[in-house]
Every structure is written in structure tokens, then in C-alpha cells.
Amino acid sequence: MSAATAATDATDAPATPGVLDLLDHVVDSLGGARREGQRDMAAAVARAIDDEHHLAVQAGTGTGKSLAYLVPSLAHAVGSGRRVVVSTATIALQRQLVDRDLPRVVDALAGKLGKRPAFAILKGRNNYLCLNRIGGAEDPAGQEPAPDALLDEAEVTETGAQVARLRDWAVEILESGKGTGDRDSLPRGVPDRVWRQVSVTSRECVGATRCPFGDRCFAEAARSRAAEADVVVTNHALLAIDAMADQSVLPAHDVAVVDEAHELESRITSVATEELTAGSVAALVRRCAKAGPDGCADSLGEVGERWATAVETAVDAGDAPEGRWQHVPASLHEPLIQLRDALWGLRSRLQGSRPAGPGYAGGDGTDSSYGTGGTDGTGKDAEKAAELYHCISACEEMHDTVVRILDASPAAPSGTGTGTGTGTDSGTDSGTVGDDGRSTGSAASPTRFGEDVVWLGGDPHHRTVRVAPLSVAGLLRTRLFSDATVVLTSATLALGGRFTAMLASWGLPVSGCRTLDVGTPFDASTHGILYMAQHLDPPGRGGPSPGAADELAQLVNAAGGRTLGLFSSRRAAEAAAAELRTLVPYEILLQGDDTLGALIDRFRAEPETCLFGTLGLWQGVDVPGPSLSLVVMDRIPFPRPDDPLMQARKDAADAAGRNGFMEVSAAHAALLMAQGAGRLLRGVDDRGVVAVLDSRLATKRYGQFFRSSMPPFWTTTDGGKVRAALRRLRA
């Protein structure tokens, strides 16, 4: 189905006057301009909600798509009393929605809807500081912190100082009653390693009724706010966790809006990907040995060392190649089974050593030895019990990762006895604790994702075995699209001019989802040029063609700097920056020299500057105005041929009789190129050039697929015309 056909299918029914009147009122209240594309999208969203039919909308930059889905979503939530969830891929869009868009829309709609709609933001539990984990930060009631809850305070380290700062932050929030405990609201962020010390995952959480800080828990407070809201803003990661969990993590809703939907498949895949390393086994052994009975982790320690040795031996002997494993290597099968069983054995021993009482036995959580902070009045016992619970959860999680690795091999036996993760002795008594603090049974079965892909990566000192789902389409189809009406939107959904590829990645048949392309208010055909450097030799595996650097230098000089360079690898970006610094008089900023935000701010503020980088710059960079008039892509960004997951997906498509190259490799590259090209026109007055230094865009048959995925720029292979146009823009 073409984008044009899709637009007809989604807009042939009568418009929705009520919603359009509300949208016009909001736009007028905000002093904005009415846009036909925005009105078309709002009408289609309202119709999809009314008809309970999924909808995918491509809405280019400048459309105002957030208003186009927020207005009908709020109208539906208030009118029906049923909640709407809005999911985004990036923190920046979450902040835009919660801090700017929703407050203004709610203010404008309050009088029209008869009540002021409520909204809230909800993230995964590990995004909120855990009061129990941080060691009982001081609170207004005067409870003393447990001295040995988290760190040896005598160790004056950077991590210790950062944790102390976080404890002070928690005290400030508790005393003032202002703040959410959300990591993103923390002034001057902290490294991931520090945040992991003071947060818990849903699986590690002991539950609100069992925790001595349950009544003040930041994550529980966020859940409570979400439960009262008409619209809840969340992220794709939590949407993935909700889809994979046996019990709902998100509050009940009948409509979900997925913004930045082009990221949905990759974010779901990321959440469902697990890894196993010798270091992670050793760390778990140390943690359990400290929290559990004497000698409880000895067996896992021995098995873990044998596993680490077996991996290195197998790699050295060529039995365990780096890259994808079609089968678990024969020499590693038995060590993996031993590791699986040792993990479950340790989990069972820790389970048996837990304190007795309703708090752990599934009672009402009022047991004085746990639910109220322990018998010594300091919370020390509760913190030790909580750490024990975290260890149990960590054993279960690693055990399930090993099971997935074993089950991914057709030749591997299913295993017997303990450690299968599916029998009555494999976790149903403890299981997974959901975001509501209740036991949810064993972790997600490997079959939840269908077929898995296993591969070995890392360096000789940090070997890593990873397992990821071959496809998440089935999971999305059965767990997301079957439970709610879903609206998916992004600036880039119609790859090659069609929605087919994106619908397939989500597990949606063409007949099961309406599609609509509302275009963009920018006239790409007169405001932008797509330059294909047809005369250059195709780039090789070693990097760009010999003439690419000279071509790039001529373009940068013609543009007077003002260039965003998008490269397919870090090595290519670094090489280009080093070369161009000798060929052009303009400063070259390189991703990695500073934080990405600082580099983009400087690039925006200093027009005669260039910014070169890799994946982090292909999407999300918003630099309207004269600071950006040239976007350069060094090559078509096909996935690396040694990417195990992409190669496995390509092979699976080929085996099913489909075109794996176009379905996987080309679709991946087209999505990136569409996002990269979208960096050029960010305002109605913007003009410029997108230059692709890969001749295959002009010479190969698949080039048309990529060109159709980008905005409809005026296209040329004449470098002289392009340089002249850039010089005119510069003047």
C-alpha cells in the first residue's frame, strides 16, 4: 500500500467535528497556525479510537503531531472515563510532553471538556531512587540511616560520595514534600554504576507492603499518580516490560499512542536481550555470599569459574566462534547445564533462609520483624532481608538467561530436574515481583519471544554471551495490539513510500491497521537538494572511497562550515574529522569530545562550525536556522555483516522465501537515512543540501527505495550545481 493510498484509506470517512473544533481552539489559544496535516491526523486518531482500529500515521517535522494525538486522547479519556497511555522513545520527548505540551493543552481544554484533565509520567521502577536500597535515608520522622546498608562508609570513594549525595537528595525530597525521586529530575546526573547502587528493578523490588519505606516509595507514588490520571506518559521500555509481564505494569488503559514509533521494535528487542559473562557470575557470587548463609554461594563460585575457563578454552580451540551460535558448542553445553542448576540451587537455598512472617509468606505485610523496619528500630534487619530478596531475584534472572541460551539450540536437550524454570519447583513460590509488589510467578518463558538468537562477543578479557529474540512481532501482536487500540506515529514510517516494512516489524497485517501520511508543512522539493555523488567509487569495507574526503571538503567549504556529518562508524567519523581539519578552515566538532548535548548546543550557537558523529546524531538533532545547511552521509548505513541479530533476521526472511536483504538490511538503512535527512529542514525558512557520498544510491536498483524513504528533495548528481547552491545560501 502506498502512502498516497494509505492517506485515502484513513481519511475517506467523514471528519470528526468535535475533535477538530477542540484542536482549533487549542491551536488558537496557543497562538499557533492551523495546519491541514495536523487536522487530518487529529481526525484520523479520533476515528481510530472511536472505531477501535489501529492506526499508523507518518507526520513530518513541523506537523504538530503531539497536539494532533493529545487533543483526541484527552477528549476520549474525559468523555469515556478510560485512560490513554502515550509512549515515547526519548527522554527529550517525554519532557516536552509533560513540561510543555500537556500543561498548555490541558489549560486550553479544561473549560471545553467540563473538567481539567489530569496527566502523569510513569517510568520503570529502576528510574526512581529506592529508599530501602539507599540505606534508610533520614526522614522527617527522624529514623536513623542504617550504617551498613549499602557501602562501607570508611571507603572514601567517588561512588561513596555520589551515594551520599543521593541520600541527601532523598532527605531533601522527603522533608520538603517536593520532588519525585526520578533520576531525570536529579540536578547534575550520576553515572549508571552509581545509580544502580540506589535503585531496584521491578524484579528486585520487595513490594510496597513488605518494604519499611513502602508508604514513602517514589516509584509507588508515581504509580499512584498514574492511576488517577487521564493520560499517562511513559517510555517504550516500560511498554515492553508491560507486554512481557504476566501482570500489568502500566495502569489499565484502552488506548495507547506510540510516538517515535520507528524506534518501537529496537527498544522492545533491547529490553528482551540478556547477556551472560563470567564477571556477572562472579559478582553475583560475592553478593550472595555476603547476604546469605555461610558457604551458600560456594558451589556457584566453583561452577562459574569452570564456565569461564570452558569458554576461554573453547574459543582458543575454535569450538566457540565469536559471532552467532547456531548451536551451543558441545564443549559448553554441560558447563551451561551446571551453571543453570547451580543458580537454581543457590536461589533455593537463599529462599529457604529468608525470615519467616507474613511479609515473606504472602501475608498482609504487617509482620513487625520486616514490614515495620525490623526489631532493632533502625531498619537494619529489613535492609538485610531486602538485599537477600535482591539476590534471589538476581539468581532467577541469570538462571532464566541460561535457560534461554540452552533452549535456543535445537540440539540442546531441554534439561531435567531443577533449573528448567517451568516446573513446580522452579520459581512459583517466589517468582517475579511486579511493579505492584506482588508475586507474578516465574520469569517470562523463553517461548514468550519465539525463537532466540545467541552469539558470543566481547574481548578476550570480557567474553559475553548474548541472547535476543529473533523477532518481537509476535509478542507485540499478542500482548500490545490485542489489548488496546494503538496509534503509532513518527516522521519516518513509510519506508520506500510504503508502510509495509514497519507494519511487519510490529506484527501487524496491512489489513489490521489503517495508515496515513499527512506530509509536512515544509516544501522539501524547493527547500532541499538531495545530492548523490555518483562519480565516487563505492565505499569499501575499509572505509570511504579515496575521493570522498576531497568531495566532503569541497562541500564544507562551499557551505561555510554549517555541516552535520553523519558517519556509519566511529572510526569513519574520526578519520574524516582528522582529514578535514587539514583541508578546511572551519572547526570540526567530533562526537565523544564532549557530551552530545554540549556539542549540539555549540554547533547551534556557532554557525561556521561542523559536527561529525555516528548513530547518536542520525536522529534527534534539532538545529533550525543558519547553523545547518548541509547534512552529509558517508555511506548507506547497512547493518554490519557481522551483526549476529540482523544477519539471523535476514537469514530467516530468506528461508521463508522473502527478500532478506530488502526486508532487514535495506529497511534498517532506509530508516536511518530518512531520520538523517530529516535533520535538514527544521523550520519553514530552512534551506539546504543532503549529500550522500555513496554512489550506490544513484547506481543500484535499491537506490530508489532509499530515495523514496527520504523527503521529496530535488535530486541531482551534479556536484557543481550543489556547491553553487550552498555558496548562495552562505551569502
Specify the higher pLDDT residue, 259 or 384: 259
pLDDT digits (tens, 9 = 90+) for 628-649: 999 999 999 999 888 999 999 9
Rounded to whole angstroms, how far apart are CA atoms 356 and 349? 14
Query: Residue 504 carries which side chain, given as an amino acid letter?
Result: A
Place 380 in a pLDDT band, splitting at 50, 70 and 90: low
Q: Please compute, for residue 282, the number of CA atoms within 13 A of its CA located in the half-sphere on the CB side.
A: 9
Whole-number mean pLDDT of the chain?
A: 85
Q: How many Cβ atoms sit within 10 Å of the Cβ of residue 617?
A: 24
Place 378 in a pLDDT band, splitting at 50, 70 and 90: very low
Cα 434 to Cα 30, 227, 640, distances in angstroms: 40, 16, 37
Nearest-5° Cα angle at 274, 268 to 279: 150
pLDDT digits (tens, 9 = 90+) for 107-152: 999 999 999 999 999 998 989 999 988 864 333 333 343 433 333 4
Q: Find out whether 44 and 514 touch, Cβ atoms under 8 Å.
A: yes
| pLDDT score recorded for residue 148 | 39
| pLDDT score recorded for residue 443 | 39
Specify the higher pLDDT residue, 91 or 137: 91
Specify the higher pLDDT residue, 386 or 528: 528
Specify the higher pLDDT residue, 688 or 134: 688
Specify the higher pLDDT residue, 174 or 413: 174
| pLDDT score recorded for residue 145 | 39
pLDDT digits (tens, 9 = 90+) for 323-334: 999 889 989 999
Rounded to whole angstroms, how far apart are CA atoms 527 and 88? 29
Q: How many Cβ atoms sit within 10 Å of the Cβ of residue 96?
A: 16
| pLDDT score recorded for residue 157 | 64
What pTM value is reported for the model?
0.84
Strands 255-258 and 485-490: parallel
* Domains of the chain, residue spans: 3-114+230-266+473-519, 125-225, 273-461, 524-730
Which CATH superfamily, name and number, covers 3-114+230-266+473-519? P-loop containing nucleotide triphosphate hydrolases (3.40.50.300)
Place 29 in a pLDDT band, splitting at 50, 70 and 90: very high
**Confidence check: pLDDT of 50 > 90:** yes
* Nearest CA-CA partner of 86 in 72, 99, 73: 73
Cell of 291: 547476604
Which DSSP state fits 261?
A: G
| pLDDT score recorded for residue 424 | 31
Specify the higher pLDDT residue, 521 or 136: 521
Query: Residue 690 carries which side chain, given as an amino acid letter?
Result: V
Q: In whole angstroms, what separates CA 591 from the centre of its chain?
A: 21
Rounded to whole angstroms, how far apart are CA atoms 678 and 466? 33
* Nearest CA-CA partner of 355 in 380, 328, 320, 323: 380
| pLDDT score recorded for residue 446 | 43
Cα 288 to Cα 149, 163, 390, 507, 508, distances in angstroms: 15, 22, 9, 41, 44
Q: Please compute, for residue 572, the number of CA atoms within 13 A of its CA located in the half-sphere on the CB side.
A: 26
Domains 3-114+230-266+473-519 and 524-730 share a fold: yes
With residues binned 3-state (H G I as helix, E B as strand, rest as coil), the percentages for the chain, rounded to 5, are 45, 15, 40
β partners of residue 714: 529
- Cell 540440539 locates to 411
Q: Find out whether 449 and 475 touch, Cβ atoms under 8 Å.
A: yes
The CATH class given to the 524-730 domain equals: alpha beta
Rounded to whole angstroms, how far apart are CA atoms 267 and 463? 24
364-383: average pLDDT: 42
Residues 6+ apart with CB under 8 A from 190: 162, 165, 166, 183
Lowest mean pLDDT among 18-27, 141-150, 391-400, 445-454: 141-150
Cα 14 to Cα 11, 17, 673, distances in angstroms: 7, 9, 35
pLDDT digits (tens, 9 = 90+) for 408-454: 865 444 443 333 333 333 333 333 333 333 333 333 444 466 789 99
Place 15 in a pLDDT band, splitting at 50, 70 and 90: very low
Place 318 in a pLDDT band, splitting at 50, 70 and 90: confident
Long-range contacts: 140-148, Cβ < 8 Å, 24+?
A: 140/174, 140/175, 143/373, 143/378, 143/379, 144/378, 146/378, 146/379, 146/380, 146/383, 148/380
Residue 586: what are its φ and ψ, rounded to 5°?
Answer: -100, 150
| pLDDT score recorded for residue 432 | 37
The 3-state DSSP class for residue 276 equals: strand
Tell me whether residue 15 is exposed, middle or buried, using C-beta atoms within 10 angstroms of its C-beta: 0 to 12, 13 to 18, 19 or more: middle
Residue 115: what are its φ and ψ, rounded to 5°?
Answer: -155, 160
Place 356 in a pLDDT band, splitting at 50, 70 and 90: low
The 3-state DSSP class for residue 662 equals: helix
| pLDDT score recorded for residue 14 | 44
